[in-house]
Structures are given as structure tokens and as C-alpha cells.
Amino acid sequence: MESNIQSHAIFCQGLTKTYGEGPTAVHALRGVDLELKEGELLMIVGPSGSGKTTLISVIAGILNQDEGKCLVFGNDLKEMSDRDRTVYRGQTIGFVFQAFNLIPMLTAQENVAVPLLLNGVEQKEAVDRAGEILDRYGLGDMLGRSPADLSGGQQQRVAIARSCIHEPNLIVCDEPTSSLDHETGTLVMELFRQEVLEKNRALAIVTHDARIFPFADRIVKLDDGRIIENSSSPQ
């Protein structure tokens, strides 16, 4: 497995993560091995509490594992300083949170522009590019609305657009289609494939939405902190 590290977007080996101590400790990850190749769309499935969100949070550098190795394009985020990891994540990783995490005092267009602004893009260019991607996501008439004035599905699309706008090499999503109807969910997945995978980036999605399984190249199933199945998508 070591010889393949450089050819993968994600290389995880022996990941463990425990919350708490003693008899009430929760073992979220129990020795997880996982690889994600460039140009691949991976879906991670499993029951609630199986460790899915913990796994993608470690992959995205939001959490540190207790033991094991997790490399992102050959870089060990756990070994970076907090500042270097923040900069690297801002340039390399896009994250779609299940709770959206939109900034309430900003408009939809301004929310989407944030990753570009953090990476030093001039404000006018950032805002213009945000408007363009929102238009592709069917929200061209919602640019000036605040998150509170958007439906759940519209907020979801804003969050997804924000994760893509800075063209990260890796996008990690927690239930990205949970608030979308079938037609819009299909549109979003088609855009993901077009904008991310055709540019040889990588995408990892935690989902319960069986409607989008055909978009996956590979599906991994977790249960009780362990990978119990790793298979090609049922096309």
C-alpha cells in the first residue's frame, strides 16, 4: 500500500478516533484504511453513528486522528502548524457542511465569494465569479438574498457553490443533496462531475441518498467505525 501513496488524493491507513474516556468512550474510527484517487468520486455510506462524518472531518483536516496516517495529496495535515494547515485547507479543500454554515449577514453571492477573498482574489472578481457559479446552479435570481430568505434546498446549493468556487483539488461533502429534490440533486451531481472530476480533482461524499449512488465511482460502507464494504458503484 505504501508504494501507491503519491498516486492518490487521499491515503489513510490505520485511522482511529475516540471521543471521551473510560466506559462512556465512543470509538468513532477503529483502524480505517482508505484511498481516494485523483479524478474519483467516492461515496461513504453507513448507519448513523458509524463514523462517516468523523472520517471526512479527518480527511478535511477539521479533526486530528488519534492514531494512523492521513495524507492529502501527499501532505500530512496533522503534522502542519495550525496556520499552515488553515492556509493549505483554504487553497486545496472545499467542504460542504450538512448544516450549510452560511454567514447570515452576507448575501448568497457574498457567501460564495468568501473562499476567493480569503485566497487573495480582488473583491469585484470574487463577487462576479460567485454570481456566475450561482447562475449555473440555478440561483441567478437569488444573488442578493440573505440565507434567511432562502429555502433549505437553495441554501444547500449556495453551500455547494461556495465549496467549488476556488477550484479546490479535493471536495468533501456531508449529505450535499439531503435538502434537494431529485431534479436539483441530479443537477448538482452533474455539475460536480463536470466541474470537479473532469479536472482530475477528487470528491468524497457522505450520503444516505440512494438516488445519487449511480454518480459514484466507488462506494465505501462504514459500520461501527470500520469499513465493511468497498465496491464499485451500481451503474
167-220 residue pLDDT tens = 899 999 988 888 788 888 888 888 888 767 777 789 999 999 999 999 999 999
Instruction: Say which residue, 39 or 225, is predicted with more confidence.
Output: 225
Q: Give the pLDDT score at 233.
A: 61
Q: Give the pLDDT score at 90.
A: 87
With a cut of 60, say whether residue 235 has pLDDT above it. Answer: no
With a cut of 70, say whether residue 88 has pLDDT above it. Answer: yes
Residue 186's CATH number: 3.40.50.300
Share of the chain above pLDDT 90, in %: 63
Work out how many domains the chain is built from and give that number. 1
With a cut of 50, say whether residue 3 has pLDDT above it. Answer: no
Q: Within a 13 Å sphere around the CA of 54, how many CA atoms are in the beta-carbon half?
A: 25
Task: Tell me the average pLDDT of the chain.
Answer: 89
Instruction: Say which residue, 72 or 5, is predicted with more confidence.
Output: 72
Domain containing 213 equals 2-232
C-beta of residue 190 within 8 angstroms of C-beta of residue 205:
no
Q: Give the pLDDT score at 184.
A: 84
Q: Which residues pair with 95 in a beta bridge?
A: 172
3-state helix, strand, coil in the chain (%, to 5): 40, 25, 30
